[in-house]
Each structure stands twice: as structure tokens, then as C-alpha cells.
């Protein structure tokens, strides 16, 4: 399904809205992100024209869509950006998230016919490079904010909520913040990872993305739980993929500059594939890159008021 090329901000929103005496209607798209296969990957609701919608209505619309995240495009304040993108989970607005960034850039790239799209997000400008085969986009790779990191102070509570002791000789439990706060727990093998049954009430009292991972024969497998944000389990977490590559590189599991493949989402029947790498050194991280595919699977209109 192709997205028509268009001038994003030509004219006023077409609905007129309550002030004009009519219903408030907005066009929307649905994309599956970190997959090239429809009905897999992470679902993303996309409203290409968010003008006239306040934060409360955006949050209510996100809850109506009932995906992990929904985004709203607005005219950018920065002349170097193609769009200002606001990202919402069912629980809150986020300054940055991975699959909404890739999915938004993919759709904007198709609408604008561009090879590089720059998004104005809560964390600042985020560029996304788009690879093409002719007119078709085949891959996207974002430059993520370089995260801060440190030791996590509530490891015992986190492991108890996850129902695991982690891997006995695994990497230390550490947090990384690139917008969301991701905490990484290494699990002792794919069977143990697949068997995790977190206590969502306990986990919901910890305002973190609990990113559990293990090494697999062909790369890495991950699961991410964030009930505090209204996301019990996420099919693909781009904001966690980049820091995972950095976490592994900092502790000598991979080399800096080595790209890893991360598989996620199989346990909730939304298989996803993400690619991530961290460039630089432990003392001087130069950039964090995360890539993958996306596919638009639906479009329509929503009456919002």
C-alpha cells in the first residue's frame, strides 16, 4: 500500500472542526514497523495532520487506536525538520520512541519522496536515512539520541516483578535513558526468556521499560515490558534496541561498530526484526543507529469530536 506524495501543510485541515459546526475528522494510517510483512511487527497509528488537536485529544485518540504508540504530524518549528512529530502511548506522551520514529519517517519519506527525513521530536532533531529500490523504500536507519546510563538501584524489585533471577553470570542490570528509561536484564537462554510471566501490577509500580534479552544462535532475542506506560509487552522497541547494542559493546560482548540483529515480539504473535549498532568507544560514544523496515497496512478517517 503506497502513501500518496503530497504537500503536508497545504491549506487548512479539511474537517472544519467544531468551530465550523461540523464533526472533527482526521485521516489516519496504520503501519507495521520493524517488519516488511503485513500484520507482523509493531503497530503504529499515524495522523498525518495533527493541526487543531490538543494534547488531551491526542491522548484520547491514542487510547482509541489502542496501539503501543500513535503519532501526530505538525508543522515543524525548526527549518531543518520535515515535521514535528508528537508521540503518545495510551498512558503518556513520550519525547522519543523507536518504532514511531522509523514508522513516521517511512511514511513521510513516501509522502515527500525524500531519501533523508528529519523529525522534530521532544528530544530534538532525529534524522532517518531511507534506502530505496527505485521509488520503493526498502530500509530505514535512524540516528538515536546517545543515552546516559548507570547502575539500576531497584534491581531486586525489578527481578521479583519479572519473576526471574536473571542470568547468574550475566551483565549488570543497568539503565539507559534516550527519552524513555530502559533497564536491561540478561536472561539465561531463549527458553527462560520465552517463559517469563511478569507480575504486571508489581512491574507497573516501576516506571521503566523492562528490557529482557538473551543471546541466540543468529543474534539476540528480546522482550520488553512497560505496563506503567500502558504497554504490557511491546512487539518491537526501537528505543531499547540502540542502548542494547551500546550495553553489549560497553561490556565487551560485541565490538563497537558491530551491528546486531534483535528479534522481538514472537511471544505475542507479532514477530519483529531490528538492527542496531553503537559507534565509538566506551568513553566517547559517537552515535547510536537503529534500523529496520515498515509497511503501511491501512488508512481511513477517524471522527474525533
- State pLDDT tens for residues 243-302: 999 999 999 999 999 999 999 999 999 999 999 999 999 899 999 999 999 999 999 999
- The answer to whether the CB of 8 falls within 8 A of the CB of 83 is yes
Please check whether residue 7 lies inside any domain of the structure. Answer: no
In a domain, 1, yes or no: no
First to last CA, the chain: 28
Considering the domain architecture, whether residues 186 and 272 belong to the same structural domain is answered as: yes
**Which cell numbers in the block locate residue 204?**
507497573
The ranges of the chain with pLDDT < 50 are: none
Given 40, 69, 110, 186, which residue is catalytic?
A: 69
Q: Is the pTM of this model over 0.95?
A: no
Considering its fold, how many domains does the chain have in total? 2
- Known catalytic residue at 69: yes
Reduced to 3 states (helix: H, G, I; strand: E, B; else coil), residue 304 is: coil
| Res 166: pLDDT | 96
In a domain, 221, yes or no: yes
Neighbours of 251 (CB within 10 A): 14
Q: From residue 273, how far is each of 2, 38, 42, 122, 294 by CA, in Å?
A: 22, 13, 10, 25, 10
Report the CATH number at residue 153: 3.10.310.10
pLDDT value for 229: 87
Instruction: Please indicate, yes or no, if residue 249 is contained in any of the structural domains.
Output: yes
Does residue 107 sit within a domain? yes
Domain annotation covers residue 160: yes
pLDDT at position 2, please? 59
Strands 260-264 and 272-280, sheet pairing: antiparallel
* Spatial CA neighbour of 56 closest among 26, 76, 96, 86: 86
Q: For 56, list phi and psi in degrees, rounded to 5.
A: -65, -45
Structural domain boundaries, residue 83: 18-144+293-303
Q: Are residues 154 and 267 in the same domain?
A: yes
How many CA atoms are closer than 13 Å to the CA of 246, on its beta-carbon side? Answer: 33
> According to the model, what pLDDT value does residue 81 have?
97
Are 152 and 136 contained in the same domain? no
Instruction: Return the closest-CA partner of residue 6 out of 100, 102, 85, 109.
Output: 109
- Statement to judge: residues 140 and 70 lie in one domain: yes
Quick check: is 6 in a domain? Answer: no
What pLDDT does residue 27 have? 96
Concatenating the DSSP letter of every residue in 36-47 gives SSTT-SEEEEEE
Number of helices (H), then strands (E), in the chain: 6, 18
157-184 pLDDT tens trace: 999 999 999 999 999 999 999 999 999 9
Does 222 lie in the same domain as 131?
no
Q: Is the domain of 215 the same as that of 139?
A: no
Identify whether the C-beta of residue 80 lies closer than 8 Å to the C-beta of residue 125.
yes
pLDDT of 22: 76
Q: What is the largest CA-CA distance in the chain?
A: 65
**Are residue 102 and residue 160 in the same domain, yes or no?**
no
- Mean pLDDT of the residues in the chain: 94
Same domain, 87 and 192: no
Examine residue 253 and state whether it is found in any structural domain, yes or no.
yes
Do 131 and 238 share a domain, yes or no?
no
Amino acid at each position: 500500500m503506497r502513501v500518496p506524495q503530497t504537500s503536508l501543510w497545504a491549506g487548512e485541515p479539511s474537517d472544519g472542526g467544531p468551530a465550523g459546526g461540523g464533526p472533527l475528522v482526521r485521516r489516519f494510517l496504520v503501519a507495521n514497523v520493524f517488519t516488511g510483512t503485513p500484520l507482523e511487527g509493531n503497530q503504529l497509528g499515524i495522523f498525518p495532520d495533527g493541526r487543531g488537536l490538543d494534547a488531551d485529544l491526542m491522548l484520547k485518540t491514542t487510547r482509541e487506536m489502542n496501539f503501543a504508540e500513535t503519532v501526530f504530524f505538525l508543522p515543524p518549528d525548526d527549518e531543518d525538520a520535515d515535521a514535528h512529530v508528537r508521540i503518545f502511548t495510551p498512558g503518556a506522551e513520550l519525547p522519543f520512541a523507536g518504532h514511531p520514529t522509523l514508522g513516521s519517517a517511512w511514511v513521510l519519506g513516501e509522502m515527500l519522496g525524500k531519501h533523508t527525513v528529519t523529525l522534530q521530536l521532544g528530544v530534538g532533531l532525529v534524522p532517518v536515512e531511507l534506502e530505496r529500490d527505485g521509488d520503493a523504500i526498502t530500509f530505514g536507519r535512524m540516528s538515536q539520541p546517545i543515552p546516559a546510563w548507570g547502575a539500576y538501584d531497584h534491581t531486586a524489585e525489578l527481578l521479583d516483578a519479572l519473576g526471574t533471577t536473571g542470568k547468574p553470570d550475566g551483565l549488570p542490570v543497568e539503565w539507559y535513558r534516550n527519552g524513555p528509561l530502559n533497564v536491561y536484564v540478561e536472561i539465561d537462554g531463549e527458553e527462560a526468556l520465552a517463559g517469563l510471566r511478569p507480575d504486571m501490577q508489581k512491574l507497573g509500580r516501576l516506571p521503566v521499560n523492562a528490557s529482557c534479552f538473551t543471546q541466540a544462535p543468529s543474534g539476540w532475542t528480546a522482550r520488553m515490558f512497560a505496563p506503567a506506560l500502558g504497554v504490557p509487552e511491546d512487539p518491537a522497541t526501537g528505543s531499547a534496541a540502540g542502548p542494547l547494542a551500546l550495553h553489549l559493546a560497553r561490556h565487551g560482548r560485541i565490538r563497537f561498530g558491530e551491528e546486531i540483529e534483535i528479534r522481538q515480539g514472537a511471544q505475542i504473535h507479532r514477530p519483529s526484526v531490528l538492527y542496531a549498532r553503537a559507534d565509538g568507544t566506551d568513553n566517547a560514544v559517537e552515535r547510536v543507529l537503529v534500523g529496520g523496515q515498515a509497511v503501511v497496512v491501512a488508512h481511513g478517517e477517524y471522527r474525533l469530536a
